[in-house]
Amino acid sequence: MNTRTPLQKAPAANVLSVSFNGDYSCFAVGLETGFCIFDAETCQLRTTRDFNAGVGLAQMMGKANYVGLVGGGRRPKFASNKLVIWDDLKSRAALEISALTPVRGVQLSKERIVVVLQNSVRIYKFAKNPQLISAYETANNPWGLCCLGTTKVAFPGRSVGHVQVEELGMDNVSIIPAHASALRAITLSRDGNLVATASETGTLIRIFSTATCAKLVELRRGIDTATIFSLAFNPSSTMLACTSDKATLHIFDVPHTRRPAARPSQPEQDQRPGSSSGPGGQGQGHDGRSRWGILSKLPMMPRVFSDVYSSAQATFSASDDGDDELDDTGAPNPLRSGNSAAAGKSLAHMADSLATLGTATRPIKGVLGWVDEDVLLVVGGGMDARWERFVVREAEDGSKVCRREGWRRYLATPV
């Protein structure tokens, strides 16, 4: 009998990617050993495939049995420049699309396959023999930014900071000059009428009308530069959620689409030293009531006193040292609360480096998905892969609060 102590423990499960399907009812994760699909409402495992090889990117097609897969990790299952559409019902590859460069992102619908490369986006007809419908050059896009809706698709334009919106089936293309610096996040509302963007600066979030390309509102996440992890509208497009390497979840009120922007656009570089959220973490709401009081109305004051800030905030896990961030009940640990932002920032720098090397295509922390009008999930990957559930409620004074209802390590047990 072998009684020798093993030299090292078996490696824990490592989540390489996280992505929600179109209606946020499920999320798929790519692993060093295959992929899994979970129900977003219950966090229960729905499907798991063990390839004994890595999947760096897994993207579901709605609630169908097709999953877009790209190889990744230490021992990739597929080549990084090949997209495999996996038919999970038949447990085999249904079709493949190869490119000359690594695939950075994938979006799927019943009619189309969108393949995102470092400097281009290619749209195919979903068929046994995929037919290329259109191809567009883009600015450098290492994170594979792209959002596919039912009627529109949005992705970076050819110029840095620009967003390109194509109306599917109509060949109508719009260019929105959203930011002066490179894009870091893009999301469409479920009806396709709004597009929200954030740049690598991470201080401002802008919402545009996809019909007119007009800017509807400019939202300030904070004053310090940050790496935006994810943006997502709730189903009715009345709220926008944002996560970043500050380990803070921000909830913004979205103005009515017919309401003009509250203030003209100003350069993102207009920043001043200070905390990431300002005193109290709040600025001016869309109801016109300033939480800064008389300071917001004084002339010649810095613009941060009159900008629109988030209406509610909460802390989420942004590092792979989750046990130190949270206590036994899952609440933030006050002894380590000051370290969460630094840990998240370190993670972001590591992810940026991996993206440059072509081994990562998207953030693995703070991926957002709304499962109801006021209920959302924040899902993270890495070694500490966890699912956190937040609820947005109205307080007695009319303000909004965002509270965490629970969390779970969704790979805590072998799959």
Taking the C-alpha atoms of residue 334 and residue 336, their distance in angstroms, rounded to an integer, is 5
Which pLDDT score is estimated for 34? 96
Which pLDDT score is estimated for 364? 85
Which pLDDT score is estimated for 70? 97
DSSP 298-351: STT--GGGTSB--SEEEE---SS-HHHHB-TTSSB-TTTGGGHHHHHHHHHHHH
Which pLDDT score is estimated for 299? 52
User: What is 138-409's CATH number?
Assistant: 2.40.128.630
Which pLDDT score is estimated for 322? 47
Q: Which of 383, 415, 407, 396 is nearest to 319 (CA)?
A: 383
Q: Judge contact between 70 and 57, C-beta under 8 A.
A: yes
Which pLDDT score is estimated for 349? 46
* Tokens found for residue 261: 């922007």
Which pLDDT score is estimated for 340? 44
Q: Judge contact between 106 and 148, C-beta under 8 A.
A: no
Which pLDDT score is estimated for 208? 96
pLDDT tens digits for 222-266?
Answer: 889 999 999 999 999 999 999 999 999 999 999 865 444 444 444
Low-confidence ranges of the chain (pLDDT < 50): 1, 6-11, 258-267, 269-292, 294-296, 298, 300-302, 304-305, 322-363, 414-415
pLDDT tens digits for 55-77?
Answer: 999 999 988 889 999 999 999 99
Which pLDDT score is estimated for 12? 55
Which pLDDT score is estimated for 1? 47
Close Cβ partners of 162 (under 8 Å, ≥ 6 residues apart): 139, 156, 175, 176, 177, 178
Which pLDDT score is estimated for 47? 93
